[in-house]
Amino acid sequence: MATKSKANKPVTVKDVFKNKFTPYTLLNPDGTLNGPAPDLSPEQLQAMHRVMVEARVFDERAVNLQRQGRLGTFAPLSGQEAAQVGSAFALRKTDWLFPSYREHAACALHGQPWLDILKYWGGNEDGSRVPDDVNIFPVAIPIATQIIHAVGAAWAAKIQGKDDATLVFFGDGGTSEGDFHEGLNFAGVFKTATVFLCQNNFYAISLPRESQTSSESIAQKAISYGIEGIQVDGNDVLAMYQMTKEAFDRGRAGEGPTLIEAQTYRYGPHTTADDPTRYRDSAEVDQWKERDPIERLKNYMISQSIWDDGKEEALWEDVRAQMAKVVEDYEALPERPVEEIFKYTFEEMPWHLEEQLAELKDFIAEYGNPNEGHH
């Protein structure tokens, strides 16, 4: 797992690229390091830790709300916090983030309010409206479509003479889509400042990674597009930050894009509509929990004497109160009219949507609103 650094030189993407089929780990589960620490202040480490805890608590609350019929379908991320927070921490405010549907931690870190994320999953159209000064694209449900958007945006920035980068998230399943191929190919040719962040959580819903592709790794796919691809321990927030930061630096300098395969795991179901016990063993889940990303950073901060058990306890308490308020605010929102789900794609509603809306209204008149109670 570990990649030793020579002398005291920080390990670079190039070093890791040489042993491209071995995931790079900097921070071990017990909190020890395999090389020099990245340049992060105690406050920055604590900020990373806080967002990871926020994401974990948000997840718990959102799944419970869904189970109680108080929220629509939800895609939990627990277990994948480090892959998202480590990489998104390397973004500058002016860089653009392109999420799929599971990147709540990355989005919150880059400035999207938790309440908006909850609104999205509650079917409230406002949840797709990102604040003006926050550079995040709307959630992409069609797999891998966001990849080409991210390349286009980075190319546009390059044409405009800006050194803004783009970070795009997708899963191991997303790499089987044509958009993945087109995006990486284009980015390689035009040397866009794009980081392709594959969170390989080893399943695309129920389909295991081995059945997804016969490639030995996802990272090696980069080679065919003439770009660098690396495997990183996705439960190691420091390795994720270090590699993404360097990939951005090279991208901004015109040296092209990077594919990062972050090996991680989702503890929960694909979405609340999925039952993972039908396709995976609980022993496998337990094994990954021993490499928990939040525990790992906590252990490191304690070893650096910048954290302690008391602070940890107070943090969880504070975050639980924060998320309780988010849920309270969400549930206090006025109910939205059903027309809204038909409204925002076309300036004028086409005939087939008008027909569907009329049908829905008839249904509600006869049977009541199935969405009642959702905000």
Ligand X SMILES: Cc1ncc(C[n+]2csc(CCOP(=O)(O)OP(=O)(O)O)c2C)c(N)n1
Give catalytic residues, as residue numbers.
266, 270, 279
143 binds ligand X (CB under 6 A): yes
Buried b (16+ CB within 10 A) or exposed e, 193-205: bbbbbbbbbbbbe
In the list 204, 219, 239, 260, the residue contacting ligand X (rule: CB under 6 A) is 204
The smaller minimum CB distance to ligand X, of residues 201 and 263, is found at 201
Does 102 help bind ligand X (rule: CB under 6 A)? yes
From the list 158, 250, 270, 296, which residue makes contact with ligand X (rule: CB under 6 A)? 270
Verify binding: residue 99, ligand X, rule CB under 6 A: no
Residue 171 binds to ligand X (criterion: CB under 6 A): yes
| Residue 258 is a binding residue for ligand X (CB under 6 A) | no
- Smallest separation, CB 101 to ligand X (Å): 7
Q: Candidates 112-120, 136-144, 152-160, 255-263: pick the segment binding ligand X (CB under 6 A).
A: 136-144
Residue from 95, 172, 261, 292 touching ligand X (CB under 6 A): that is 172
Number of neighbouring beta carbons within 10 Å of residue 252: 17
Binders of ligand X among 230-249, rule CB under 6 A?
none
Task: Among 19, 42, 94, 205, indicate the residue that binds ligand X (CB under 6 A).
Answer: 205
Instruction: By CB under 6 A, tell whether 201 contacts ligand X.
Output: yes
Contact 353, 339 (CB under 8 A): no
Residues 313-372 that bind ligand X (CB under 6 A): none
CA angle 236-238-243, nearest 5°?
100
Query: Binding residue for ligand X (CB under 6 A) from 7, 41, 132, 142?
Result: 142
Across the beta sheet with 96-98, the strand order is: 96-98, 166-171, 194-200, 258-263, 228-233
What is the smallest separation between the CB atom of 374 and ligand X, expressed in angstroms?
22
Nearer to ligand X, 26 or 117 (CB): 117
Q: Which stretch binds ligand X (CB under 6 A): 86-94, 164-172, 244-252, 361-369?
A: 164-172
Q: Which stretch binds ligand X (CB under 6 A): 140-148, 220-228, 255-263, 338-346?
A: 140-148
Which residue is it, tokens 């990489």? 87
| Interacting residue ranges for ligand X, rule: CB under 6 A | 102, 141-143, 170-174, 199, 201, 203-205, 270
